[in-house]
Structure 1
């Protein structure tokens, strides 16, 4: 019932706009200091619905949805760079000062990218289970130049039937969240995603390496890391990937998978409010 009320409220009090290229849509809810909310891969801005319900009384929440996800039309090429450029434009057009950014997964990586370029007055960042270089965690002897778009794996994804893709999505949802009630929503978002964006956009993300760029960040950064399967299993990855970030706080969240804001909402919200306030 609460989610239904929030959805109705979002329709009534929010407004949306598209950047010139159509690669992002931004819904704005609430009043106060601005907070840019960047979702993870395949997720629309509504992934932050519960967050907005808690913070929009004192913060102007800007919920981003990327091209190819949710109801935003796909774009032809250069997906990740175009999305980043349009977020730059959105921040510049709104002349934000003391901006806070909350980013989950890919959204957290984008937040680090934005802050590392020091174009804008970004005061605080919360990174929710994200890394500056996802590819390095997944691929031995990682090199961005070695990541290519035309691979047997990518071709197979493009050829999958909806039934096959749905089965894969269900496995992913079970792995990414311990909250069973959220699994269907995650699957629905993945199924709604434009398939080419899913395949080539994720390749864009694997090619992105921001580890050295972190040394340029001057914003306050809090990193929430899912201690899954255990803190000892992930601590080395986070310490290694964020080594160049001069000032940071890493908080390991127990009993949570990738969607920390679903699995441990109260702990996540406590950390977020502490950062924003």
Structure 2
């Protein structure tokens, strides 16, 4: 009996030790903490220049997600474990006067964290992020109809490398105006774990955070691009964030989805202005 209990104990320890983390962190600096959350497939290094251009002293935590950029995958579900592990991370680090900056999908995680840490949060910046992508991309389609095992997902999983590369390049061209960044954006998708890419995107499309926005009290800065037009972008952000009372929406002219590539100086100025008012 003792041998059985010992064996079970060893198995538990091994399982815990080998558990794959849902993200990695690049931590630097000193001061009030800032968590920087990238978008889907994107490494935390996308924030490197933003961090270098921060005015003031901050302890920055740049996140990169499992399944992307050479980090081992965690399987499915994908989004929920990242969220839960981020919650644990913030508690473990005892963060207060916290600012969270999220780009695209990172903004969805930032929204979840803002609701979880109302008292600890002093700032929330959402960059090109929507609380319900599905409503924009697939209007009228219920979340319940989206499943991992679907014809579209199976097609994406089986897609040959050259065809997938063409898809990634097409998507990248719609995300930045900078020709020298297109190959980089595409490479993040091409090098991703294919199941994480396919099933993780399903997780994102199922999200609808719009009803939760009423619970966020932190003054929130929403930064968007004017692609395809300023009028369309303004209407989309106002509609999606109608339940968020304490917000400011600013749009970057001449930018697509990756504002940090298309209008970096504008982005730095917006972030620094906000931090001076909310996170000192």
Give the TM-score, by structure 2 length: 0.89
| C-alpha deviation, 1:32, in angstroms | 1.6
Q: Tell me the equivalent position of 2:21.
A: 22
**Which residue of structure 1 lines up, in the alignment, with residue 260 of structure 2?**
261
Shift of 1:21: 4.3
- Measure the CA separation in 2 of the matches of 1:43 and 1:87: 17
Alignment check: 8 A CA contact 1:177 1:257 kept: yes
Residue 12 of structure 2 is matched in structure 1 by none
Q: In the aligned structure 2, how far is the partner of 1:214 from the partner of 1:269?
A: 25
Q: Which residue of 2 aligns with 1:196?
A: 195
1: distance between equivalents of 2:99 and 2:117?
A: 14
Give the CA deviation at 1:20.
Answer: 6.0
Q: Which has the larger radius of gyration?
A: 2
1:256 deviates by: 0.4
Bigger relative contact order (CA 8 A; separation at least 6): 2
Q: Which sections of structure 1, spanning at least 5 residues, go unmatched? A: 1-17
- CA offsets per residue over residues 170-221 of structure 1, 9 Å max, x none? 1111100111111111111111111000000000000011000000001121
User: 1:76 offset after TM fit, Å?
Assistant: 2.0
Q: Contact 2:55 / 2:272 at 8 angstroms: preserved in 1?
A: no
CA 1:113–1:267 in 2, change beyond 3 Å: closer, same or farther?
same
TM-superposition CA deviations, 1:132-174 (whole Å, max 9, x none): 1111111121322222222221111101111111111111111
Q: Do 2:131 and 2:240's aligned partners in 1 also have CA atoms closer than 8 Å?
A: yes
- Aligned position for 1:14: none
Relative to structure 1, is the Cα distance of residues 120 and 77 closer, same or farther in structure 2, using a 3 angstrom cutoff? farther
Runs of 4+ in 1 over 6 A off after TM superposition: none
Provide the aligned C-alpha RMSD in A: 1.7
Counterparts of 1:154 and 1:272, CA distance in 2: 37
Which residue does the alignment assign to 1:10? none
Structure 2 residues without counterparts, runs of 5 or longer = 1-16
Cα distance in 2 between the residues matched to 1:56 and 1:87: 25
- Give the conservation status (yes or no) of the 8 Å contact 1:29–1:61: yes
Question: Matches of 1:56 and 1:275 in 2, distance apart?
Answer: 11
Q: TM-score under structure 1 normalisation?
A: 0.90
Residue 53 in structure 1 maps to residue 60 in structure 2 = no
Q: Which residue of 2 aligns with 1:92?
A: 91
Change (3 A) 1:19 1:237: farther
Structure 1 window deviating more from structure 2 (46-55 vs 97-106): it is 46-55
Q: Is residue 107 of structure 2 the alignment partner of residue 108 of structure 1?
A: yes
What's the counterpart of residue 35 of structure 1?
34
Corresponding residue pairs, total: 260
> Paired residue for 1:7?
none
Matches within 5 A, 1:102-141: 102-118=101-117, 121-141=120-140
- 2:157 is paired with a residue whose SS is helix
How far apart are the structure 2 equivalents of 1:276 and 1:37? 14
